[in-house]
Amino acid sequence: MAAVVVYLSDVDQEKSYCFFFFSSRTGHTISLPVSWAGRCIRDSGRPEVTQEMKERLNALYGLDKGIVEGYIDWLSAAIKGDLGTSFIYNVPAQDVIKDKMWVSFWMALPSFILQLLIAIPLGIISATKQYSITDYTVTTVALIGISLPSFFFAAVLQRIFSMGLDWFPLQGMVTAREDYVGFAHIMDMAWHFVLPITVLTVLSIGGLMRYSRTNMLEVLNADYIRTARAKGLSEHKVIYKHAFRNTLIPIVTMVGGMIPGLFSGAMITEGIFSIEGLGYIGLKALRSGDIPFMMAFTMFLAILTLLGTLLSDILYAVVDPRVRLK
């Protein structure tokens, strides 16, 4: 097996590029992870990387200070809006997040809406027809959705609908060698998003469906539901006027926590379909050791979590008449 390492430097852009070519005696090319290549560079020792250059880089990124002092410096800069410069894109990390999060959002939003429209009604139907064929069917579908790994389901859809039937694109966000504009560009992106949205929807409805079913069963066994039935109200009015609203209380709390996930991206799904959303970029940064971006990405996720908790509390007050905002 032979290995060739080629270094290219761009003085004007102050960037360097490294290409690894590995070939075996059989003539096959072997692709190795970037992290492995990085270790090879570090361990073998590049003669052009001097100790002075390493010290300058450590000083530039605050690695020459202690952990506490370095964190305080980073936090002070983060409060001012400076989250550091991405190693990969050579632009501020917050700019990368603002650019890529909308890709994840427009892919996750249709999936989120479909989850609500499919999972909640099926959960209620399953609860009202407990131990029936419908209940067993819905429960089985929910368990399959919960159990399927996202990468496996995505690969199955690609094999059937992209490589087999050729109905949908295999990967990417837009059609190569096509320069669509306006509405045609939007439709082209939507066509590329069909399979990723299907993966996100099918794998997510199971949990929400089971949650809706469990809450509806608890509400149907409550005393006020028995009283409503004893007064002669129709089953439709008992379920959809009295029981459904109380079922929504815990569901809304759960859904409120899901909304920030619209911006954080789906790392595995985006990676399989080569969609450069925030999840895919986060995985790429993690593999490449892009520390500034990962710090900014982690802070972004923490802020989304806090906003999700706040939104859940607000929505809880909207659906529960016993709670009032003051």
Is the pLDDT score of 226 beyond 70?
A: yes
Three-state DSSP class for residue 85: strand
Domain count, the chain: 3
Residue 69, in any domain of the structure:
yes
**What range does the domain containing 9 cover?**
1-49
Q: Is residue 289 within 8 Å of residue 283, measured between CB atoms? A: no
Residues 256-283, mean pLDDT to the nearest whole number: 82
Dihedral sign of CA atoms 125, 126, 130, 136 in order: positive
Nearest to 204, CA basis, from 139, 143, 145, 287:
145
Residue 323 β-bridge partners: none
Residue 23 β-bridge partners: 2, 29
**Cβ neighbour number for residue 141 with a 10 Å cutoff:** 16
Confidence bin at 6 (pLDDT 50/70/90): very low
Residue 22, in any domain of the structure:
yes
Residue 88, in any domain of the structure:
no
Statement to judge: residues 145 and 273 lie in one domain? yes
Is the pLDDT score of 312 beyond 60?
A: yes
Statement to judge: residues 20 and 146 lie in one domain? no
Query: What pLDDT does residue 62 have?
Result: 67
Is the pLDDT score of 82 beyond 50?
A: yes
Residues 174-187, mean pLDDT to the nearest whole number: 79
Statement to judge: residues 211 and 281 lie in one domain? yes
> What is the average pLDDT value for the chain, to the nearest integer?
77
Residues 141-164, mean pLDDT to the nearest whole number: 87
Alpha carbon of residue 261 to chain centroid: 6
Query: What pLDDT does residue 54 have?
Result: 75
Query: What pLDDT does residue 325 have?
Result: 56
Statement to judge: residues 101 and 198 lie in one domain? yes
Query: What pLDDT does residue 1 have?
Result: 42
How do beta strands 2-10 and 15-23 pair?
Answer: antiparallel
pLDDT tens string 13-52: 444 444 444 443 433 333 334 444 444 444 444 556 677 7
pTM beyond cutoff 0.85: no
Residues 112-137, mean pLDDT to the nearest whole number: 88
Is the pLDDT score of 309 beyond 50?
A: yes
Statement to judge: residues 60 and 37 lie in one domain? no
DSSP 170: S
| Lowest-pLDDT range of 15-24, 195-204, 256-265 | 15-24
Is the pLDDT score of 265 beyond 60?
A: yes
Provide the token pair at 93. Answer: 């990390």
Residue 174 neighbours by CB under 8 Å, 6+ apart = 180, 185, 188, 189, 192
Statement to judge: residues 217 and 114 lie in one domain? yes
Nearest to 108, CA basis, from 212, 199, 175:
199
Q: What is the CATH number of the domain that holds 273?
A: 1.10.3720.10
Three-state DSSP class for residue 7: strand
Query: What pLDDT does residue 220 have?
Result: 85
